[in-house]
Structure 1
Amino acid sequence: MLHRKSNLSHRPKTSSAVDDGSGSQRFDTSMKRRASQLFHPHVHDMQDTGPAALRSVQEGARVYRYSPHNVGECIEGAVAGVKQFYRRYSTSSKRPSAVDLGPLKMRKGSHDSNATDATLLPEQSQQQPQTHKSSMMRRLSIIRHRRPATSGPSGDAARLNPVPLPIPANYSSPPSIPADTSRGSAARAAAAAQNERLSLTKQAKREAEMTARFLADGIHHICSEVVTKDSESGIGMTYSSPVEGTNDVLEKKLDPIEYLPAELSSIILSNLDAKTLARVETLSKAWQAAASSPHVWRVVFLRKFEQEVHVFPKPIVMGGMGIGKVAGKRIVPGQDWKKMYQVRKAIDRRWEANSPMPIYLNGHTDSVYCCQFDENKIITGSRDRTIRVWDLNTFRCLKVIGGPDNRPVLPTSVPLETHRDTVSNIPSVNGTPEGRAIYHVPSDYHEASILCLQFDSEIMVTGSSDHTCIVWDITQEEYVPKYRLRRHSAGVLDVCLDDKYIISCSKDATINVWDRHTGSHIRELIGHRGPVNAVQLRGNLLVSASGDGVAKLWNLDSGHFIKEFPSQDRGLAAVEFSDDAKYVLAGGNDHVVYKFDTTTGQLLHTSTRHGGLVRSLFLDAHNGRVISGSYDQSIRISHYDSGETFGTYENWTTSWILSAKSDYRRVVATSQDGRALILDFGWGVDGAHLLAGK
């Protein structure tokens, strides 16, 4: 009987072959086949039960080119083949000798789609005589991995639809192995058959399980590589094939952001910071739509830029808040919060880069001692005994308030020097028809220098060298004096107010506390041994700075001072109280700015020295900046936490800096040369108008 030439690349030497002495014949290596080709239904002449069952498995588990439409057909065929193989294998009376498919696993390929081939290797020989059928089945025992054939087909087509190799023309049946007629060969063959029968039960179960695992894992691996890109979102959708025992329903792994309710996704994404949120927007169109939601950016923007209220009553906010339109006490919805965030960050970068645009306000005829501004206007007070109101958008003087004898005249002096980058320097209108039209003489006014002022949305309080304060109603277009506060015996150097109190301090070394609504005097605070140059109010706490070189912390309910903050050498001219009442800043003749801890009284640090008296201080704690103005004609900007100076503007005026205040985008300073100077860090920033409150 002629036998077909073996499919293996080599023949293991069995005991029969050794005894025979004729040697095994070397075969052409071109006859190697892949595991998929051995499983193909066109493999010929598998005549025993094991190979026949194996052929039925392959026939049922034919792998089609995968698509979302025929994956069910592919899986059903694989599972049916496994069941048929197990049924034939467990019931057939004609059992295979030792067919062991072995732990065939499908190794995941690289980005090229070449399938991982498998090579058939023989088991260890039992050194016993074998029949031709038994030895051939043993040579088909274990299926293991090998690298893809370099000359064979590649790509998905070869992996998913393998084609058997052509049979060469010179193919001949394998040579017959002569029967071993030596003594004992029959006994050895009988023993081998008995061993095979004893191990068959365990092998059958293991072979069926491992074959099923191979088919399931292989198909799953193929399917998992097929990823359909969603043309809208760009997020991959992977279809996973079920295994036996599960429903034949495809599990579709989708982008969760597409299924979350918009409200829930907004809540989740609003907990991210702006940098992370911007990266999330680049993931896909679905993520971009969710992360760009105005509801998300509103939370992110306000968390970063909205000022917190630490004490009650709420302190007066200097300048604009920079959080967009506000109606009453409510923030107007529907604003472009993402754009507003970008604008705020652009302005902050201008601060760090020291690149403001200078604007000069001309009109006062003498030193400008004090100033304050809000979203729309700047109010200044001068030694020329007038109060001026300026439009913050057009930089024109809207109103001049003073006595009839204090009308300004046409200036005769040469215009003052300006910075080279000046963007606005509107000349004074004093003595012109326009100047006369804006001059206003109220029913009450100061007849001396205006040394200090502060205002909110309802009233303005001014202090003068005439020893008094005037409370003005500014809710109307015409500033109307309400009442005058009389108690001090010297010039009023500073004032502050909140919803409950008005505080004034004087050169007479006293501090007076007034009822805001009635103007009645509440108490007098005595303790300083020199002029009280500055005061700042936070709730029921007050801090004051004096020429005696000491800053004091007071309790307004009891009228007693709580703690002292001494300078190192000389008197203090300016003081600031942090919004949370935790820190006190003071400056003066020492040419430095001190930072004290309110609770312990400890000096935390001092700033770099100015070249002269620190005449003015302003703390913008929310934005982390300290503004100081000095007699050295400079304005300095320092980090609130460390005191390190990162911006210095020297000689932008021609004389001493007497007052300097700031908000999120600008510094407003006044000088002895009679001008007000604006350093605008938001000038020319696209979208800066979105941050305005009205």
Structure 2
Amino acid sequence: MHRRQSILSHRPKTSSDVDDDTYTSAAPPPHTMKRTISQTFPTHYQHDVKDTNMLDAVNEATMHADGLSQHSQASSFSRAFGAVAGSFTRQKTRRRMSSVSSATPAQRRRGSIHSLFESLPSSSTSQKSTMDQQRMPLQHQDSGIPTFQLQPQSTSSKAFAPFKRLSSMRRRPTASGPSTDITKTLFTPAVSYPSQSVPGAAARQAAAAANQDRQNQLRREQEHTHRFLNGLITTSMRDDDIKDNESGVDMTCASPIVRADSVTEKKMSELANTSHWGHANSVTVDPFQRLPAELATTVLSNLDAASLVRAERVSRSWNEHASSPHVWRNVFLRKHEPEVHVSPAPIQMGGLGTGKMAGGNPAPAQDWKQMFRARSTIDGRWKTGTPAAIYLNGHTDSVYCCQFDENKAITGSRDRTIRVWDLKTYKCIRVYGGPNHRPTANTPPPMEERPERVISHASLNGTKVGNEIYTVPADYHDASILCLQYDSEIMVTGSSDYTCIVWDITGDEYVPMYRLRGHEAGVLDVCLDDKYIISCSKDAMIKVWDRKTGNCVRTLKGHRGPVNAVQLRGNFLVSASGDGVAKLWNLETGVSIKDFPSEDRGLAAVEFSDDAKYVLAGGNDHVVYKFDASTGELVHSRVKHDGLVRSLFLDAFNGRIVSGSYDQSIQVSDYETGQTYAVYKNWTTSWILSAKSDYRRVVATSQDGRTLILDFGHNVPGSELLAGSK
């Protein structure tokens, strides 16, 4: 008797036949493994149980394998499977009848697999589709494609008797093609019938499409991670500069990872090329799923900011680690925290721009990422030359000197007064001077201001408030105040009256403590540290004073003209003189150890780098010189003005030189190359006499009696976070 070839033997293999966790390529796998009925369903049932009891057992095994706890979903699966299994059982005799060859087509179809699908309840379609999605969890959160498989359980062959009757139909030898797995038959339509004719096919196709979308998304994310890690090794972990697209500023870290760090690079390379199963050139494993949080923070902290921002976009896991405040704190401080090179540390001009401080260290729990963004924006404004202008009005004559911190600025003038300005409100809050130097109303007169002006408060002179803030101290200068410097405890002012006054500034009121006498002409400049006060004079001498007692410790002689400027770094002092020479002194011995001559004429200003490696000097030949402090050789003299260079300030950490000149200009130049990248000319109406800066502003004084602030941080989001504690 000729038997009709089983339709089950020709069912094509689908994507669910392949374990996609181990094979993710678009090409077909080299081979597939056939499942037997014992590998597909649990077999712990009794041989004489009814169909309903068998279905309850299958339901129980299904919940055990998939972790399902909702009884309604398991019952829906049981009813669906019961209809199929019952149909197989009822049609067993028909398929073995010898008259099958003579039966009509309609009769043969009643015994076919198609009739089994027709017997499925249509109401279970949506429930089954929902169950398919819920009982197919990922084997590993980083693995490739989710699969569905019931876990086999050991049992006796006797207990397996009910399923042997079902498997006998599938295991008959056929003319061609392999035998078909019963589980795949239940969940995959036969190729001979259109999918749209099978009840529930649309839901199964939708579930398959959703599953494929999840697979594609997971594969794309893994490929993205793989590409990023490879790029991290080949691009980010180099010494090359990376520029921020918005601000155009250097976003590299101060200490980038270099090729010499072979251990870190090797580990990252291994992670970048290792699959879930440990094989190279396969799906990339997320390294931060394996690394402890502390180690992940350490790794990411070595990236520059631009690479760190890209890392945040790799995946949710990477975003969680890369956006951590601990990571951004390290990145921010590595780039922006100044380094102290000498002891005692030089007096800080302005603010550090590193946020709140606690016990001398940056305070925790700050928005470091926003702070980094604000600093980058401010740095970009320095490069593009776009500050806001703020004018401080009050002095009635030339303002010779200034110093400022984050909260206040102090200025000294030819009008014989000292003024204290609030840098939050930009108003004058205190004036110190003699009883005969009180300013009158309507002084100074209104003057021309730049269009960039954002704040310019009218002078309080002669008003009720102006009279209230004017203070006549116990001691005061009765001549022009030419220079000043202060720290957290004292302020020293030098005057044309040949003396210096040391003030106690720890309280709300500044109190004069003692006067330094010894010079034979006006005191042109002063500097101080924890041990000494240094003053220089038009009498060509430099005097070293004991800070605590006020006694003169030593007098340094060697210049042949007025000593216009001095600066202190540890035990070394530099000075600039009208004789055209800058000198380096050893304070312990009082000996001049190095000379730095200008090419022509005298020097009016001098700066000593924080690491004591370079000396800057400027003067009447209109240029700024940069000398090597150890050899005395000229490095370059590229900064050029159209008049005498009256003021110099070096911000070595931020790489800027700020110079002020009689040509009424302020120039900002690169510390390394000397290249000028910003010139602010005629922002005042007369000579620039002093100009100093910090990370966000330049404070300059002029002969026209005003103080000008060039603020590069005005209205920058997050700039308030950079200010330190009071």
Q: TM-score range by the shorter chain?
A: 0.5 to 0.7
1:150-171 deviation per Cα after TM superposition (whole angstroms, max 9, x unaligned): xxxxxxx9xx9999999xxxxx
**1:398 aligns to what?**
429
Confirm whether residue 573 of structure 1 aligns to residue 604 of structure 2. Answer: yes
For residue 259 of structure 1, report the CA deviation from its aligned partner: 3.2
**2:320 aligns to what?**
289
Q: 2:367 aligns with which of 336, 339, 342?
A: 336
- Structure 1: how far apart are the matches of 2:481 and 2:517? 15
Q: 2:705 aligns with which of 656, 674, 683?
A: 674
1:331-366 deviation per Cα after TM superposition (whole angstroms, max 9, x unaligned): 111100010000000001111111111110000011
- Structure 1: how far apart are the matches of 2:417 and 2:621? 32
Confirm whether residue 409 of structure 1 aligns to residue 361 of structure 2. Answer: no
For residue 242 of structure 1, report the CA deviation from its aligned partner: 12
Cα distance change of structure 1 residues 610 and 451 upon mapping to structure 2, 3 Å threshold: same
Q: 1:461 aligns with which of 492, 504, 507?
A: 492
**2:395 aligns to what?**
364
Identical positions, percent: 63
- Structure 1: how far apart are the matches of 2:535 and 2:432? 21
Q: CA contact under 8 A between 2:300 and 2:327: conserved in structure 1?
A: yes
**2:476 aligns to what?**
445
Confirm whether residue 65 of structure 1 aligns to residue 24 of structure 2. Answer: no
Confirm whether residue 550 of structure 1 aligns to residue 581 of structure 2. Answer: yes
- Structure 2: how far apart are the matches of 1:241 and 1:549? 74
What TM-score, normalized by structure 2, do the two folds share? 0.64
- Structure 2: how far apart are the matches of 1:488 and 1:504? 9
Query: How do 1:640-659 residues align onto structure 2 when only pairs under 5 Å count?
Result: 640-659=671-690
**2:449 aligns to what?**
418
Q: CA contact under 8 A between 2:444 and 2:705: conserved in structure 1?
A: no
- Structure 2: how far apart are the matches of 1:469 and 1:368? 17
1:228-250 deviation per Cα after TM superposition (whole angstroms, max 9, x unaligned): 7299999889997999xxxxxxx
Cα distance change of structure 1 residues 242 and 587 upon mapping to structure 2, 3 Å threshold: closer
- Structure 2: how far apart are the matches of 1:414 and 1:538? 41
Q: 2:512 aligns with which of 481, 492, 497?
A: 481
Confirm whether residue 319 of structure 1 aligns to residue 271 of structure 2. Answer: no
For residue 519 of structure 1, report the CA deviation from its aligned partner: 1.5
**1:535 aligns to what?**
566
Q: Which amino acid aligns with 2:412?
A: G
- Structure 1: how far apart are the matches of 2:585 and 2:547? 19
SS at match of 1:229: helix
Cα distance change of structure 1 residues 362 and 259 upon mapping to structure 2, 3 Å threshold: same
- Structure 1: how far apart are the matches of 2:283 and 2:612? 57
Q: CA contact under 8 A between 1:384 and 1:449: conserved in structure 2?
A: yes
- Structure 2: how far apart are the matches of 1:518 and 1:75? 94
- Structure 2: how far apart are the matches of 1:365 and 1:276? 53
Confirm whether residue 614 of structure 1 aligns to residue 566 of structure 2. Answer: no
SS at match of 2:453: coil
Q: 1:229 aligns with which of 206, 210, 218?
A: 218
Confirm whether residue 255 of structure 1 aligns to residue 286 of structure 2. Answer: yes
Q: CA contact under 8 A between 1:234 and 1:284: conserved in structure 2?
A: no
Q: CA contact under 8 A between 1:227 and 1:236: conserved in structure 2?
A: no
**1:139 aligns to what?**
none
Q: Which amino acid aligns with 1:349?
A: G
Q: Which amino acid aligns with 1:420?
A: P
- Structure 2: how far apart are the matches of 1:614 and 1:253? 61
**Which one is further off, 489-498 or 406-415?**
406-415
What TM-score, normalized by structure 1, do the two folds share? 0.67
Would you say how many aligned residue pairs link Structure 1 and Structure 2? Answer: 501
Q: 1:509 aligns with which of 540, 546, 550?
A: 540
- Structure 2: how far apart are the matches of 1:400 and 1:62? 88
Q: Which amino acid aligns with 1:229?
A: L
SS at match of 1:487: coil
Q: CA contact under 8 A between 1:493 and 1:505: conserved in structure 2?
A: yes
Q: Which amino acid aligns with 1:406?
A: H
- Structure 2: how far apart are the matches of 1:475 and 1:284? 52
Confirm whether residue 525 of structure 1 aligns to residue 477 of structure 2. Answer: no
Q: RMSD over aligned Cα, in angstroms?
A: 3.6
- Structure 2: how far apart are the matches of 1:638 and 1:375? 23
SS at match of 2:376: helix
Cα distance change of structure 1 residues 542 and 609 upon mapping to structure 2, 3 Å threshold: same
**1:264 aligns to what?**
295
Q: CA contact under 8 A between 1:62 and 1:77: conserved in structure 2?
A: no
Q: CA contact under 8 A between 2:444 and 2:459: conserved in structure 1?
A: no
**1:352 aligns to what?**
383
For residue 256 of structure 1, report the CA deviation from its aligned partner: 2.3
- Structure 2: how far apart are the matches of 1:557 and 1:332? 38
Cα distance change of structure 1 residues 70 and 305 upon mapping to structure 2, 3 Å threshold: closer
- Structure 2: how far apart are the matches of 1:676 and 1:309? 30
- Structure 1: how far apart are the matches of 2:278 and 2:426? 74
**Which one is further off, 468-477 or 414-423?**
414-423
- Structure 2: how far apart are the matches of 1:630 and 1:423? 24
Cα distance change of structure 1 residues 529 and 280 upon mapping to structure 2, 3 Å threshold: same
Q: CA contact under 8 A between 2:393 and 2:444: conserved in structure 1?
A: no
**2:670 aligns to what?**
639
For residue 255 of structure 1, report the CA deviation from its aligned partner: 1.9
Cα distance change of structure 1 residues 76 and 240 upon mapping to structure 2, 3 Å threshold: farther
Q: Which amino acid aligns with 1:515?
A: D
SS at match of 2:465: helix
Cα distance change of structure 1 residues 231 and 512 upon mapping to structure 2, 3 Å threshold: same
Confirm whether residue 663 of structure 1 aligns to residue 694 of structure 2. Answer: yes
**1:686 aligns to what?**
717
- Structure 2: how far apart are the matches of 1:672 and 1:359? 17
Q: CA contact under 8 A between 2:414 and 2:481: conserved in structure 1?
A: yes
Q: CA contact under 8 A between 1:597 and 1:603: conserved in structure 2?
A: yes
For residue 265 of structure 1, report the CA deviation from its aligned partner: 0.8
For residue 62 of structure 1, report the CA deviation from its aligned partner: 11
For residue 330 of structure 1, report the CA deviation from its aligned partner: 2.1
Cα distance change of structure 1 residues 526 and 254 upon mapping to structure 2, 3 Å threshold: same
Q: CA contact under 8 A between 1:234 and 1:285: conserved in structure 2?
A: no
Q: CA contact under 8 A between 1:229 and 1:235: conserved in structure 2?
A: no
Cα distance change of structure 1 residues 597 and 226 upon mapping to structure 2, 3 Å threshold: same
Q: CA contact under 8 A between 2:595 and 2:632: conserved in structure 1?
A: yes
For residue 264 of structure 1, report the CA deviation from its aligned partner: 1.4
- Structure 2: how far apart are the matches of 1:312 and 1:296? 30
SS at match of 1:607: strand
For residue 607 of structure 1, report the CA deviation from its aligned partner: 2.3
For residue 414 of structure 1, report the CA deviation from its aligned partner: 3.6
Confirm whether residue 595 of structure 1 aligns to residue 595 of structure 2. Answer: no
- Structure 1: how far apart are the matches of 2:659 and 2:507? 33
**2:235 aligns to what?**
none
Q: CA contact under 8 A between 2:222 and 2:285: conserved in structure 1?
A: no
Q: CA contact under 8 A between 1:229 and 1:236: conserved in structure 2?
A: no
- Structure 2: how far apart are the matches of 1:567 and 1:469? 29
**1:274 aligns to what?**
305
**1:378 aligns to what?**
409
Residue segments in structure 1 that go unaligned for 5+ positions in a row: 1-39, 44-57, 82-156, 167-222, 244-250
Q: CA contact under 8 A between 1:590 and 1:613: conserved in structure 2?
A: yes
- Structure 2: how far apart are the matches of 1:671 and 1:460? 22
SS at match of 2:326: helix
